[in-house]
Structures are given as structure tokens and as C-alpha cells.
Amino acid sequence: MTVFPTTEEEITQVLKFADQNGKKVSIIGGGTKRGYGGLTEYADIQLSLAHYTGITEHIPGDMTVTVKAGTTFKELQDYLAKHSQKVSLDPAWPEYSTIGGIIASNESGPKRLGYGSSRDSVIGLRIVYPDGQVIRSGGKVVKNVAGYDMNKLFIGSMGTLGVVTEITLKLRPIPKYESLILLSFPIELQEEMRLFVINLLDSMMEPIALELLSPALSKRLTNKEMYTLAIGFEDFEPSVRYQEEFVKSIVPEGTLFSLLPQAEAELFWDAFYKTAPNGVRSKPGSVTEAALKIGVKNLDVFQIVKECAGMHKSVSIEAHGGLGHGLCQVILRGSSNDLMNAIERIQQITAQLGGYTIIKHLPYALRHKTEVWGEKPSYFFLIQGIKSAIDPKSVLNYKRYLGGI
């Protein structure tokens, strides 16, 4: 049964009913992350926030906004653009992704280098606990230092601790200008590009994104089947121009240099955010899709992308990673058996580098054949204890998160 509440009171009543009657509740927003975690396919009640939308409060002078969880990211950004402001996040599929889903999964994109993650943008949350109790964490002002930072407990918890109903976010002005530099290079120049990245990161330049694309992904986005470094800048136009010139001055020989002005840069990013599998649009078929999130040391991104690009051609693999923060995304398409073998190999490579692998998208039938969240960390007992204290009956998003929580 799917319910579509339009008020927080209705959400509260649904959860009270479920808690008192031993029912399981699954939360859904835009549906883009239906393949993310989850070792059970059905719940007694599917709580859809599709009708729980809208801007609750916007104070342009304080640069804060409070929004209902079911509001899509694009709807929120379009509203804020009228005030020359924006939320500094860049999730995939913004026209489908809801702000609640983005916060629940702590999603971020290539511009995390300059923007930070959801945890850096959220200043307050309103949450309904599984027993119907409503609490607030954080506040509605940026300089809020009272008590523990409870926001971080719920951000990234995949809706297993409570239903986030409202989110208060800090804003930033829309930049006056934006550009994108694309540097394409053959694998032989990997060491030179590594030194280039080190020089850029050690400089006074402030790229908003520093993303390495595999040849397969580069071909899709730029029509060049080469390793490609995407360097994004956002600021006043003279500042952007200055940084562009600096990059030009240190680019290694043998590299193809392309400069995309603002309109073309926006088109590139729009296409980029639609490369990942979408839980709404994914359909069963002969080709299976998967998506991985990998965390490694920032310069180990070169190794991850190189290994993915060199894997067996029976699986289509598109990979990219942030050389400023070390987060990689790997998109795989192929037969189920070949795809699972490729995932296992990538997990092994990542572990050898001291990193972690999370499976962000995988058909339900295959999730039981691997550890979608990786091995349980040493602090898992703390997470388990928090879940038991807040949701002792496992009402919310049962088996959706780490360790089957």
C-alpha cells in the first residue's frame, strides 16, 4: 500500500499506526535511489513524499531556505534562481531527485571539491521518529553552535532513523561566471597529469571541480575517447579568466586543451548528471546496470579509473573520480554474471588501496550476492545501538542500510 501524505501530521499518523501495529514502512521520494541498499523488496506501507512539497521559508538576507523533503532539487534551484541564490550541491538527476533523498543518502557530485557535501549545506532538520514523535535538530541560522550537531546523525542514514520532513539549508549566490576546462590525454601521460594535478592543488587556484573521466565516459560526454580531466571554475569573470590562464601555463605537452564558456559548461554538467543509473527509469532487461561509489586517497583516483578502463570488454564501464576529494563513481552495464565479476574485481582493487566500495545501484536479485555496503566497520555496534534506541521495532526502511539495519 502506498500513501501520499501532504502534511507532517499525516506523516506522523502513518508512522504511529505502523509502530503500534508492527508494520514496516519504506520511504520514497523521487525514486532515483531505489537500487541503493535494501535487502528486502517490499514493505507493508510505502510512504511517498511526492505530494509533500514546497518552500516553507526563505530569508534571502540570511541566505537560508527551509524546504519540504519531497521537493525536487530542480524545483528548489529554479525558485532560488529568481533571487540569484542556490543550494551548493550537485546531485545526479536533479529533476527527479528530492531534497529529502539527497540528504538521506548524503549525495554529492563532482563539485563537492568546492561545494562540500550535504553535511556542509544543512543547518537544520525536522524529523518524525518511528513512534510519531517530532524533533528538530540544528537551527534556522548559519551560526548555530548550541549543543551537539545532530544533523550529521540523520544525513546519510538512508531514512532508517526517522522521516526527514523539512530541511533548512544555507545558500550561496549564483556565481557571476562559470567555465570548464577539458584536458584530454593518452595513458602515457598519466604521470605528467598527476604532477599537473599536484601543482594545481598546491596553487592558489580554487577549482570547483577537478574530475577525471575514463575514456568511455569522456567519449560519451566530449566525443574524445581519451582520459579527460574536467576542471570547473565559478566566480567573478576576471577571477575565472585568471585561473584559466594559470591552467594553460602549466598544462603538459601532448594534452588536448578545450575551454568551454558558461553556456557550454552548463550543457556539459547537465549531461554529466544524467550518466548514472536512475531508479525511476531503470527497467529489467538483458543488460544489467550497476553503480559504485568508491572512496580512496585523492591521487589514487588515477589508479581506480585506469583499472576500470582496462577491464574486460564484456562489461561496459564508465568511471570518474574527484582528484581533490578521492570519491569515484563507476557505472557498469552488461550481463549479470560478468557485471558481478567486475564488481568483485573493483572491490579487491579498492581494498588494496585502503579504500571502500559502496554499491549505489544494483537490481534487487543481485544484492544478496555481495555486500552492498562493504564489510561492517569496527564502529558498527554504535550504529546498531542508535538504530535500536530510536527504532527498536525496525519500522523504517528495514534492511536498507549498513549491516542490514
> Can you identify the CATH homologous superfamily of domain 288-368?
Ribosomal protein S10 (3.30.70.600)
Task: Please report the pLDDT score of residue 177 as a whole number.
Answer: 97
Report CA Rg, the chain: 21
Please list the ranges in the chain whose pLDDT falls under 50.
Answer: none
Taking the alpha carbons at both ends of the chain, their separation in whole angstroms is: 22
Pick the CATH number of 2-174+394-404 from 3.90.550.10, 3.30.465.10, 2.40.50.140, 3.10.105.10: 3.30.465.10
Task: Please report the pLDDT score of residue 404 as a whole number.
Answer: 87
Same fold, 177-273 and 288-368: yes
- The two beta strands, 2-3 and 45-48, are parallel
Task: Please report the pLDDT score of residue 208 as a whole number.
Answer: 97
Task: Please report the pLDDT score of residue 314 as a whole number.
Answer: 87
- Annotation: CATH topology of 177-273: Alpha-Beta Plaits (3.30.70)
In Å, how far are 204, 234, 242, 269, 317 from 239, measured between CA atoms? 12, 9, 5, 21, 36
CB atoms within 10 A of CB 128: 23
Percent above pLDDT 70 for the chain? 97
Question: Is the whole model's pTM more than 0.85, yes or no?
Answer: yes
Q: Where are the beta strands (DSSP E) in 40-145?
A: 45-48, 55-59, 64-68, 85-86, 122-128, 134-138
Under DSSP, the state recorded for 93 is S
**Domain layout of the chain by residue ranges:** 2-174+394-404, 177-273, 288-368
Inter-axis angle of helices 336-352 and 301-309, to 10 degrees?
150
Q: In 204-309, where does DSSP find H-type helix?
A: 215-222, 237-250, 262-272, 301-309
Among 125, 66, 58, 114, smallest CA distance to 88 is for: 114
**CA separation for the pair 172, 240 (Å, rounded):** 17
Task: Please report the pLDDT score of residue 304 as a whole number.
Answer: 98
**CA separation for the pair 244, 226 (Å, rounded):** 21
pLDDT digits (tens, 9 = 90+) for 140-169: 776 555 556 889 999 999 999 999 999 999
Sheet with 2-3: strands ordered across: 2-3, 45-48, 25-28
Task: Please report the pLDDT score of residue 3 as a whole number.
Answer: 97
